[in-house]
Amino acid sequence: MPFVSPSVRTLYRYRPSLSHLVLAMGIGLSGLIASPLIQAAPVSTVKQAFSIPSGRLDSALVLFGQQSGVLVSVNGDLSQGKQTRGLQGSYPVDQALGLLLQGSGLVAVPQSGGGYIITLQAINGAVALPSVTVTANQLGEITEGSGTYTPGAIATATRLVLTPRETPQSISVITRNEMDDFQLTNIDKVMQNTPGISILTYDSERTVYYARGFAINNFQYDGIPMERNAGYSAGNTLSDMATYDRVEVLKGATGLLTGSGDPGATINLIRKKPTRDFQGHVSQSAGSWNSYRTEIDLSGPLNSEGTVRGRAVASYQDQESHMDGYRRKTPVFFGSIEADITPSTLLTVGADYQDNKPTRSTWGGIPIYDTEGNFNERPRSFNNGASWSSWEQYTRTAFATLEHYFDNDWVVKLQLNHQINGYDAPLGAVGGGNPNPTDGSGTRMWVGRYVGKTRANAADFYASGPFEFLKREHELVVGGGLSERRWTNNGDGPHVGYATIPSNYYEWNGQVPEPDWNDPNAWHGQNDETTREKGLYTTARWNLRDDLKLITGARLSNYKRETMQESGVLTPYLGLVYDLNDTYSVYTSYTSIFKPQSRRDESGNTLDPLEGTNIELGLKGAFFSNRLNASAAVFQLEQDNFAEATGALTPDGGVAYRAINGVKTKGYELEVSGQLNDYWNLHAGFSNSVSRRQGNKVSTLAPANQVSLFATYKPWGQNSKLTLGSGARWQDKTWGDVYNPAVAGMVKHTVDDYWVVDAMASYRFTDQLTGSLNISNLFDEKYYTIFSAYSTYTWGEPRRTMLTMKYSF
């Protein structure tokens, strides 16, 4: 056994095996109750520098104790003969210890009095730290391999790497494990599992997500903002999940890091990271309506020292649909390389590529009413698209990050992102008018072709680290970012004389000729629009007391798009977190965001930007060393400076507007995610939100109440070969004002509430080979959503079955 100098805090100490038995019994019992019998020490986010070479684990643990000054006890029989890849760089103590133990079959159990005990990983209900790889680029902890439905540390809200309990804002995370269990292979399916998010379907290629009464058009990729144009979709809501570790949805106003946008929520997609150990998998899926999917994922070191690591992912999905003639092919490629330039400097470069190639795309949905005012019920297989209609979308991204850790625990990071989102959409569909039930007349085709793309370049730079003030240690982030997005679009119509009136709507099969796109008279959109944003931001986490943290922040932004220009826009951030004990915290926060608008008043002046604010009060709990998180929040969200027409004109003859109080949303949310014990994983939530403008309900296409519940069960614990799971989601009734030809005006159309139930089962035949069966909409619920702007509706997907075989190595 290695000798440890008495001058160094003892790290390596024999414990009788009986003590480990007692510890295991205590941990096992703790998994059965809400509050652990053994309270875990709070997880520190303060980083320390480590330089530990690869080799024997017992020797590495000695060096860990010398460099960290942390007490770690272990039975020598457990670590004897085990190896470690070592550790280079700056990490919080718990993350560093997890990296040292990775692949050893051992985990570190934090003790209430400080320090850790090393024990075997397979303990029922263990409160041990998860043995997972930890990202070193300030995006938070990766979820791949964690075995849980809850995240570790996250950084989406403030750039500070904090646990969900330490973050004074509601955030929902879909982890890699949940995506794999329920085959959430695209962003639409991920949003279906996310509490508090509703989905509105425009047509086969366009969906819009809603949170707290507002559409979500703010997307981030590894924390870099990208605004989505919902009307001219270009890949954001078709993202394949093969390349992502997790999806974080930050609720409320997010202007501190997003800049401009709407106050409902921001979706942050976090990419997979290269791993220090070689790993990979190959999977093949087949399912309903001739749906097939292949996925390959390889990751590991690229040199003998492990200082250069790479990851490559490829997937291909070819799926037909319950709709006649519809089919989509989706190839995806992703690659990234990490290089330790020095023990404290990390460079990451990568690129990704995705195509979405559909056949017979719909455009809009099915007219809600026929000419007699009856609900126009068409089969779920009905496709309003022409045989040649196709909304092809594609994404191309290149990215790079450079980060350096200093000995004083400060880190600086530069992140660059270049992204192209494009579309080529020759579209034709029977969506206009209303069918006559007698002879099928009364409808018309919408016809147009749109070709465009958004080229976006973004850079973000910041420094983060601890500082001392009034004899207490606090944390600070200072940074800035700039972006430029150029959207170009060319629209065209059909040649003169092209027939757009079908002879009989009820006999429509899409078999019409594609027009020549050369209409000299029709204007279908010629756009060339550049948006530039610059911003400086800062965040401070003030350690007022051991149990009280204050987070203050602000962003100063400049914005320019055509006639919209704003300078010096201040978006503040304020959050307070009070730890009631080692398990529960209460918090409150005030967040904000802005969105410029082009409408003008009677004097010709542009209206002030829309201003969104979110006030939130909540309770959070973290159990079993953060492997289970729970939250409850009440919120009030407002967006002001809403443009209302005055009836007058601007000096150049345009419609004049004035700014009034806008939408106010009030509601509450409940959510729990993570491991209850070695048998159960759970992600559940309930949300309530009602939006009003001047006392009248708005955003009624999104439900006021929603429930989601997804869980898996392993009958024999973590080592169980069989996993069973089920999920259910319910949404309240929705409604909107749509056109009814029987009354020649607008009427309120209500969609009934509905439940959709999913199920899954997987079986591990060997350590490498696993088979799984997923059934979505198990009971074949027949439901639809409406899009009131088009006065159309779209059926939800019927029962779908998917069988997957996955070989891991």
What is the residue extent of each domain of the chain? 1-131, 278-808
Instruction: Give mean pLDDT, residues 524-531.
Output: 84
- Of 86-100, 260-274, 693-707, 794-808, the one with minimum mean pLDDT is 86-100
Is residue 11's pLDDT more than 60?
no
Instruction: Give the C-alpha separation, 743 to 192, whole Å.
Output: 36
pLDDT at position 26 over 70? no
In the predicted structure, residue 674 carries a pLDDT above the cut 80: yes
Q: Mean pLDDT throughout 489-513?
A: 93
| CB atoms near residue 260 (< 10 Å) | 25
Q: Is the model's pLDDT at 556 over the cut of 90? A: yes
Q: What is the pLDDT of residue 28?
A: 33
What three-state secondary structure class fits 57? helix
- pLDDT of residue 441 exceeding 50, the answer is yes
Q: How confident is the model at residue 771 (pLDDT cuts 50, 70, 90)?
A: very high
Average pLDDT score over the chain: 87
What would the mean pLDDT of 290-316 be, rounded to a whole number?
Answer: 96
Residue pair 665/614 in contact by the 8 Å Cβ criterion: no
Of 261, 263, 265, 268, nearest in space to 559 by CA: 261
Q: What is the pLDDT of residue 658?
A: 87
Evaluate if residue 19 carries a pLDDT over 60.
no
The least confident of 131-140, 580-589, 727-736 is 131-140
Q: Which secondary-structure segment (H or E) carries 203?
A: none
Flag whether pLDDT at 225 surpasses 80: yes
Kindly report, residue by residue over 453-471, the tens digit of the pLDDT.
Answer: 999 999 999 999 999 999 9
Whether residue 721 contacts residue 744, with contact meaning beta carbons closer than 8 Å, is answered with no
Q: Are 625 and 673 in contact (CB under 8 A)?
A: no
pLDDT at res. 129? 42
pLDDT of residue 139: 86
Averaged pLDDT, 647-674: 89
Instruction: State the average pLDDT over residues 730-750.
Output: 95
CA distances from 571 to 224, 563, 641 (A): 18, 22, 15
User: Given pLDDT bands bounded at 50, 70 and 90, which one contains residue 18?
Assistant: very low
Spell 423-436 as b/e; 16+ CB within 10 A means b: bebbbbbbbbbbbb
Distance from the Cα of residue 371 to its chain's centroid:
42
In the prediction, which pLDDT does 57 show? 82
Look at 37 and 486; give whichever has higher pLDDT.
Answer: 486
Angle at 350 between CA 349 and CA 353, to 5 degrees: 165
* Strand order, beta sheet including 214-215: 198-201, 207-211, 214-215
CB within 8 Å of 448: residues ≥ 6 apart = 427, 491, 492, 493, 494, 524
pLDDT at 113: 54
Reply yes or no on whether the pLDDT at 23 is more than 50.
no
With bands split at pLDDT 50, 70 and 90, how would you rate the model's confidence at 8? very low
Mean pLDDT, range 759-776, rounded to an integer: 97
427 vs 61, residue with greater confidence: 427
Angstrom distance (rounded) from CA 280 to CA 808: 6
Q: Say what the pLDDT of residue 659 is.
A: 84
- Whether 78 shows a pLDDT value over 80: the answer reads no
Tell me the sheet residues that pair with 197. none
**pLDDT for 112:** 55
pLDDT of residue 42: 43
Q: β-strand 224-227 against 244-251: which pairing, if any?
A: unpaired
CATH class of 278-808: mainly beta
pLDDT at residue number 44? 54
Which whole number is the average pLDDT over 500-516?
95
Instruction: Give yes or no for a contact between 806 and 772, defined as CB atoms under 8 angstroms apart.
Output: yes
Return the pLDDT at 52.
81
What is the residue whose two structure tokens read 């300030």? 138
Count the alpha carbons within 13 Å of 730 in the hemisphere toward its beta carbon.
Answer: 11
Q: How far apart are CA 356 and CA 455, in angstroms?
A: 18
636 in Cβ contact with 664 (< 8 Å): yes
Percentage, residues of the chain above pLDDT 90:
68
Which of 253-267, 274-288, 356-370, 651-665 has the weakest average pLDDT? Answer: 651-665
Rounded distance between C-alpha atoms, residue 678 and residue 715, angstroms? 9
How confident is the model at residue 75, as a pLDDT?
66
Q: CA–CA separation, 240 vs 389, rounded Å?
A: 22
Q: Categorize the per-residue pLDDT at 69 as very low, low, confident or very high, splitting at 50, 70 and 90.
A: confident
The angle that helices 93-101 and 57-68 make with each other, rounded to 10 degrees, is 170
How confident is the model at residue 521, as a pLDDT? Answer: 63
For residue 215, pLDDT over 80 is answered with yes
CA–CA separation, 178 and 681 (whole Å):
9
440: left (phi over 0), alpha (psi -120 to 50) or beta: left
The Cα 593–Cα 225 span in angstroms is 13
d(CA 209, CA 534): 27
DSSP 492-530: E-PPTT-----S-GGG--S--PPPPS--SS----EEEEE
Average pLDDT (236-257) is 95
Evaluate whether 1-131 and 278-808 have a shared fold.
no
Strands 106-110, 116-120: pairing is antiparallel
pLDDT band of residue 509 (cuts 50, 70, 90) is very high
Per-residue pLDDT band for 114 (boundaries 50, 70, 90) equals: low
Lowest mean pLDDT across 68-77, 328-337, 748-757? 68-77
Mean pLDDT (whole number) for 283-298: 97
Q: Is the pLDDT of residue 606 over 60?
A: yes
1-131, which class in CATH? Answer: alpha beta
Least confident interval from 5-14, 103-112, 741-750: 5-14
